[in-house]
Structure 1
Amino acid sequence: MSDSTRSTTVGSPGPAAPATSGRTHNRWVILVCAILVQLAIGSVYAWSVFAKALQEPDAFGWSKAKAAVPFSVVLGMIFIGSFVGGRLQDRRGPRVVALTGGIIYSVGVILASFATNKDMFWLLVLGYGVIGGFGLGMVYIVPIAMLQKWFPDKPGLITGLAVAGFGFGAVITAPVGQALIDNTPSQPTRAFLWLGIAYLIALLIGTTFFANPPVAAAAATDRSAAPATTNAPATTTADPVSGEPDFETNEALRTPQWYLLTLILTMSVTAGISLIAVAAGSATDIAGYSKTAAASLVGILAVFNGGGRILWGWLSDLVGKMPAFLGILGIQAVCLLLIPHASNTAMFAILAALIYTCYGGAFGTMPSTAGRFFGVRNVGAIYGLMLVGWSIGGVIGPLLIASLIGDTKAYTRGFTIIGIITIVAMVIPLITRKPHHDGARAAATTR
């Protein structure tokens, strides 16, 4: 079957419903546009470049902990945005939700550029953190849910690709952001004006092509048109490709598996983000990188963040979801224990690359895991809620590592403590099994 044919029939063994947009969509074009969109919003992972600039005495002179706050707020707001976006895209379609979120995100970044002195901390938190984080979450969840419907035959690989662009975002933003900062080093936030405009253009272009496959769009229309019944029992539908039952969102939330998967994501995020939040500074302090070299390293590491999403998404289809998460957590734990002792520049880069690869790997693996556990029909809302783990880890990780390192630069203490916590977290994948749907509740069964 050709891709042009598949694009109008995927997900259904019978005749495809007519596309609501009146156009035929090629799923590979949609994939490319999804990656472009994720590149724009993935720029958030270059924050350590801005955090380092904000700490300079000639700029705002903030402490490590204060410079970490906007980044933590962004990640905290992602859950709220993804929850809203996940529910809306199942009802309204991906294009309008992603476009709305993209505009909100870009406006937030542009607003942050007006925080031009150290007394305007609140504006940076509001613009970059609250507004930008909410818009980012709305955009982020859409390609993940949309592409699982277009590519039911490659769930792990495609969701890895879907979020790879997010990991690659800092490849571009880190060096470009550093160059913009160097133009006005006393006001590093001015860089956000040009970055916000660039993000807006990329998001407007990419989201234009977003659409659900015709069968999924027709199913969403049927569900929204169905009359509400208060006493009717819940019904279970099966995915037409895998034959697995589709959980309703409230049914998924009644299973222990939803909470276990969310906890796995939380712990992986906490581990990886503890390095990402201070990557530029730790590269300078531990391994002796210059300011410019540290910014370049952050950009290079983003390649591993993005690549890890593809690699682990693909591996998880081969070895299984829980073995993949066991590897993701274990490798991060070992590298965190070793990295404060990596005074050699090459060794530091290798350990950091492994952490970034596994950090990204969790995001490449978890969407298809949610689809495998709970079905793909409602995966936007179900996985959108799971992203509370991203927000929790995103808030705890940067603040915890900043407080542990402190102004004394106690990197050994900080990374060792988080490494030990990550080792303990390895027990979670060992006890997590796929749920069984019986129409009223879900119980754990052996995978």
Structure 2
Amino acid sequence: MSSITEPGGNTRSPSFFSKQATIAQPGFSRWMVPPAALAVHLCIGQAYAFSVFNGPLTKVIGISQSAPDDWSLTTLGWIFSLAIVFLGLSAAFAGKWLEKVGPRRTMFTAACCFGGGFIVSAIGVWTHQIVLLYLGYGVIGGIGLGLGYVSPVSTLIRWFPDRRGMATGMAIMGFGGGAMIAAPLSVALMNHFKSATSVGVAETFVVLGIAYFISMSIGALAIRIPPADWKPAGWTPPVETKQKMITQSHVHIDQALKTPQFYLIWLVLFLNVTAGIGILGQASVMIQESFKNTVSAAAAAGFVGLLSLFNMGGRFVWASASDYVGRKNTYYIFFALGAVLYWLVPTFASAGNIALFVLCYCVILSMYGGGFSTVPAYLADMFGTAFVGGIHGRLLTAWAAAGVAGPVLVNYIRAYQVANGVAKADAYTMTVHIMTVLLVIGFICNLLVKHVHEKHHMTEAQLAAGN
């Protein structure tokens, strides 16, 4: 481990959590980095499974049924909303800090926040103070979510310049699949701790907080960054051309916000996520209303599970495919194919063709997940890798905005349709046609993305100074 030279000529060893201390030594295998990233993303993916706590949390006092002083579902709903808001805020505003201090300190901070958020929430359950759940899981845990989401991504991109999409796809697939582990684990723990005086939520929060802290800390300890100018053996960087849309230059995080490319890619992500997230939240109700008296609640639950699998798998498959077909072309597929499938969905529903209806939505949700995992590599292609983690963090504000826009479009338009006499089976037709239009707009935004102008590139002196 090299020493740090301070002003005045004195030298000292870098601290364990410093960026310099994480520089890989000769012989280190880059394939050790994806498991470290997964150790974090599989934990924070628990956020998608938080709803399993909502029912028990409405019975903390009554135990077997809700008591007058128990929390309502609307009150509890703000916990998850706050977590997503602070995920976006922390990812956006901690970008510069991430690039300065490196992934180890950022990932360990994420472990402290996410694990600690569960502990604070457990105290909130024991004392029945909803504000502690808002603070614990919502604010502190949300910060952990944001830091944990972005911190491994830029490191993976630097280790896999030849397979950027595949590398980020592996980690972000973990975020999509984390709920598949967290949901049954949480239910099992609540059943284990449940008693005549407890619904088991507080105890479960403590166990999860400790377990997630340990797992995320292991990932933070294992993470390494490549030495300067490192590249895979035998790999030659692609020739920089405007046609290939892959730059060998770098754009500073603040300068990226002055480029039209950042805002076009922001819209690309926003429109792709908007088209999928609203459907994901209403999938069970939607298929039952579209095929009334045909699809049972159990079958609808199976449909939701199938969508989750495609959402998770799409994160790896589409991002990996983008290494070969290009990031811009991958988004062309998302928007063109997605628009066609959305337009066909009402036809299949009215014809009673459940198989094609399900197939359409499975492909749509795979592209929804693929949009998340492909965009970090898209940003690295456009802006270089020096500040890609911070730039990615700021772009995730598109996710937060889509998290509001998607459900609003699906829920309020459906409610308006039903209120005006439209049959529930037909109430989603206007919504999916609007989604089609949004995807066409997304296609146009992606078309307008061009090579970043040279005036935005950092000089060698700026790169050496890190600013």
- The TM-score normalised by the length of structure 2 is 0.72
Equivalence for 1:438: 455
Change (3 A) 1:295 1:157: same
Amino acid at match of 2:276: G
Q: Does 1:249 align with 2:249?
A: no
**1:101 and 1:138 in contact (8 A); partners too:** yes
Deviations 1:279-328 (A, max 9, x none): 45545655676666655654543332222122221222222222211222
SS at match of 1:265: helix
Change (3 A) 1:297 1:73: farther
In structure 2, C-alpha distance between the alignment counterparts of 1:43 and 1:144, rounded to whole Å: 18
Change (3 A) 1:199 1:348: farther
**2:87 and 2:145 in contact (8 A); partners too:** yes
SS at match of 2:453: strand
Percent identity of equivalent pairs = 34
Q: How does 1:188-227 map to 2 (within 5 A)?
A: 192-215=205-228
Change (3 A) 1:178 1:426: farther
Equivalence for 1:426: 443
Amino acid at match of 1:370: L
Equivalence for 1:162: 171
- The CA deviation at 1:252 is 1.4
Deviations 1:130-178 (A, max 9, x none): 2222111111111110111111121122122231211221222233345
- The CA deviation at 1:348 is 5.4
**2:249 and 2:457 in contact (8 A); partners too:** no
Q: Does 1:268 align with 2:269?
A: no
Change (3 A) 1:168 1:22: closer
Q: Does 1:97 align with 2:114?
A: no
Amino acid at match of 1:378: F
**1:48 and 1:277 in contact (8 A); partners too:** no
- The CA deviation at 1:89 is 2.5
1:324 corresponds to which of 315, 326, 330: 330
**2:23 and 2:224 in contact (8 A); partners too:** no
- The TM-score normalised by the length of structure 1 is 0.75
SS at match of 1:245: coil
- The CA deviation at 1:339 is 5.7
Q: How does 1:116-195 map to 2 (within 5 A)?
A: 122-179=131-188, 192-195=205-208
Greater Rg over alpha carbons, structure: 2
Q: CA RMSD in A?
A: 4.0
Amino acid at match of 1:73: L
Mean Cα displacement is larger for which, 289-298 or 374-383?
A: 289-298
Q: Structure 1: which 5+ runs fail to align?
A: 1-17, 218-241, 442-447
Change (3 A) 1:121 1:412: farther
In structure 2, C-alpha distance between the alignment counterparts of 1:265 and 1:352, rounded to whole Å: 18
Mean Cα displacement is larger for which, 385-394 or 253-262?
A: 385-394
2:321 corresponds to which of 310, 315, 325: 315
Change (3 A) 1:351 1:22: closer
**1:106 and 1:199 in contact (8 A); partners too:** yes
- The CA deviation at 1:399 is 4.5
Q: Structure 2: which 5+ runs fail to align?
A: 1-18, 231-245, 419-423, 459-467
SS at match of 2:386: coil
**1:270 and 1:397 in contact (8 A); partners too:** yes
Change (3 A) 1:21 1:361: closer
- The CA deviation at 1:95 is 0.8
**1:339 and 1:348 in contact (8 A); partners too:** yes
